[in-house]
Copies of this chain bind each other. A is one copy, B any other.
Amino acid sequence: MTHAPSSNTLGFIVPEPAARPGDTPDFSSIGLKLDSPAPRPDPMCPASDTHTLANSLVRVLNDEHEAQGEWNPGLSAKDLRKGLHIMLKTRLYDVRMFKLQRQGKLSFYMKSMGEEAVAAAAGMALRYEDMLFPSYRQQGLLFARDRDMVDMICHCLSNQRDNLKGRQLPVHYTWKEGNFFSISGNLGTQFPQAVGWAMASAARGEDTVTASWIGDGTTAEGDFHGACTLASVYNAPVILNVVNNQWAISSFSGIAGGNNATFAAKAIGYGLPCLRVDGNDFLAVYAATGWAAERARAGHGATLIETVTYRADAHSTSDDPSRYRPKEEAAAWPLGDPIERLKNHLINLGEWDESRHEALTEALTKEVQANYKKAESYGTLREGPHAPVSSMFEDVYAEQPWHLRRQRQDLGV
Contacts and interface: CB of A to CB of B under 8 A. Distances in A.
Interface of A: 1-5, 7-15, 44-48, 51, 198-199, 202-203, 205-207, 220-226, 229, 232-237, 254-257, 259-261, 265-272, 298-301
Q: Residue among A8, A198, A199, A269 with the most chain B CB within 10 A?
A: A269
A272 to B, nearest CB: 7
B207 A10 contact: yes
B229 A12 contact: no
A260 B232 contact: yes
B48 A2 contact: yes
Nearest to A302: B5
Chain A contact residues: over half helix, strand or loop, or mixed? loop
Contacts of A222: 221-223, 225-226
A13 to B, nearest CB: 4
Contacts of A206: 10
B3 A47 contact: yes
Given A4-B45, A225-B225, A233-B259, 11 more contacts: A1-B271, A7-B300, A10-B202, A12-B235, A14-B234, A47-B260, A222-B226, A224-B225, A233-B254, A257-B271, A261-B269
Nearest to A2: B48
A4 B47 contact: yes
Nearest to A48: B2
Contact of A271 (B3, B46, B198, B199): B3
Contacts of A4: 44-47, 300-301
A177 to B, nearest CB: 24
B3 A46 contact: yes
A16 to B, nearest CB: 12
A4 B300 CA distance: 7
A269 to B, nearest CB: 3
B256 A12 contact: no
A110 to B, nearest CB: 25
B269 A268 contact: yes
15 contacts: A2-B47, A2-B48, A3-B46, A4-B47, A8-B298, A8-B300, A12-B202, A12-B236, A13-B233, A220-B225, A222-B222, A222-B223, A222-B226, A232-B257, A260-B272
Contacts of A254: 233
A208 to B, nearest CB: 10
A15 B233 contact: yes
A260 B206 CA distance: 24
A6 B8 CA distance: 45
B271 A268 contact: no
Contacts of A199: 12
A206 B9 CA distance: 10
Q: Residue among A3, A236, A257 with the most chain B CB within 10 A?
A: A257
Given A10-B207, A205-B10, A256 B268 contact: no
Contacts of A202: 10-12
Contacts of A13: 233-235, 301
